[in-house]
């Protein structure tokens, strides 16, 4: 199972939110590039970057910082936040981003997924399904789409999509353990590969996710607080 460190960028800084609430942010570094280099030095094989300003505003805001990070490390980067049209997808991939992540666009414009796969291949895109009480949130998790997780999966399964990530918003940033029940249910429902996020607080959580069968796990707050020592993870989780 792949363990992927998350770097969330707000106002150019590396932050973590609590349950996706922009009013409950914790700044962990003013220099996201340094954080990226640190996680790479600990053995990370991929980084997960989110432009929180972009997610909220519907267009990339921290794109230059993200591209600078991608040029500063030697591992693949996947990027989400504010990616709502093909022009943005194309720009990120041309700038060296390995994989783009679409969330709101998956709800409003699933054809964007198909077009991205057609032009850049199935490894170039992933959908982020961010949900609270089983309902998908959009626009930086601020609004409810009123669409269930399973209905959205039905809508995107024919796009050619290979993988998606699932976040239980109520667990995100809480260090309260993942929502294992929902993760199991979604895995049983979907033929696609899943990356899980939200609530991961220990190596034990990661081991449980591996047993459940997710392809990867996105780790955030726990690696910043020290609840998970990233260098130990890569020696333990294979």
Annotation says 133 is catalytic? no
Compute the average pLDDT of residues 69-96.
97
Q: Is the pLDDT of residue 169 over 90?
A: no
Q: Is the pLDDT of residue 141 over 80?
A: no
Annotation says 130 is catalytic? yes
* Domain residue extents for the chain: 2-236
Vertex 15: Cα angle to 146 and 74 (nearest 5):
105
**Confidence label for 59 from pLDDT (cuts 50, 70 and 90):** very high
Count of C-beta atoms within a 10 Å radius of residue 53: 19
Arithmetic mean of pLDDT over the chain? 93
Catalytic residue selected from 51, 53, 130, 139: 130
**Confidence label for 140 from pLDDT (cuts 50, 70 and 90):** confident
Q: Is the pLDDT of residue 106 over 80?
A: yes
**Confidence label for 166 from pLDDT (cuts 50, 70 and 90):** very high
Compute the average pLDDT of residues 164-176.
88
Compute the average pLDDT of residues 14-42.
91
Compute the average pLDDT of residues 43-69.
96
Residue 57 pLDDT: 92
Residue scoring higher pLDDT (65 or 20): 65
Residue scoring higher pLDDT (8 or 25): 8
Cross-strand bridge partners of residue 15: 8, 27
Compute the average pLDDT of residues 193-221.
96
Report the percentage of the chain scoring pLDDT > 90.
78
Residue 139 pLDDT: 80
Domain covering 2-236 in this structure, CATH number = 3.20.20.70
**Torsion sign (Cα): 218, 98, 164, 90:** positive
Q: Is the pLDDT of residue 30 over 80?
A: yes
> In this structure, what are the phi and psi dihedrals at residue 80, rounded to the nearest 5 degrees?
-135, 170
Q: Which one-letter DSSP state was computed for residue 55?
A: H
User: How far is Cα 174 from Cα 199, in angstroms, rounded to an integer?
Assistant: 6
Q: Is the pLDDT of residue 32 over 80?
A: yes
Residue 49 pLDDT: 98
User: How far is Cα 68 from Cα 73, in angstroms, rounded to an integer?
Assistant: 9
Residue 20 pLDDT: 79
**Confidence label for 85 from pLDDT (cuts 50, 70 and 90):** very high
Residue 170 pLDDT: 84
User: How far is Cα 126 from Cα 1, in angstroms, rounded to an integer?
Assistant: 17
């Amino acid at each position: 199972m792949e363990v992927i460190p998350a770097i969330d960028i707000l106002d150019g800084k590396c932050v973590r939110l609590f349950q996706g609430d922009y009013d409950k942010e914790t700044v962990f570094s003013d220099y996201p590039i340094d954080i990226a280099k640190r996680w790479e030095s600990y053995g990370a094989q991929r980084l997960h970057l989110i432009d929180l300003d972009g997610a909220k505003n519907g267009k990339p805001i921290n794109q230059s910082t993200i591209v600078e990070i991608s040029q500063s490390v030697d591992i693949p980067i996947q990027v989400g936040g504010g990616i709502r049209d093909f022009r943005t997808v194309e720009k990120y991939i041309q700038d060296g981003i390995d994989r783009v992540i679409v969330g709101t666009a998956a709800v409003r414009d699933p054809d964007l997924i198909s077009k991205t796969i057609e032009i850049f291949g199935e490894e170039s895109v992933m959908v982020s399904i961010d949900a609270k009480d089983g309902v998908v949130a959009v626009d930086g998790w601020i609004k409810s789409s009123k669409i269930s997780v399973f209905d959205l999966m039905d809508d995107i399964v024919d796009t050619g999509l290979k993988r998606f990530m699932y976040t239980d918003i109520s667990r995100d940033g809480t260090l309260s353990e993942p929502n294992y029940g929902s993760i199991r249910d979604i895995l049983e429902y979907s033929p696609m590969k899943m990356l899980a996020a939200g609530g991961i607080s220990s190596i034990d959580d990661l081991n449980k996710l591996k047993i459940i069968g997710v392809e990867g796990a996105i780790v955030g707050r726990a690696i910043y607080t020290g609840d998970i020592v990233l260098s130990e993870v890569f020696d333990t989780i294979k």
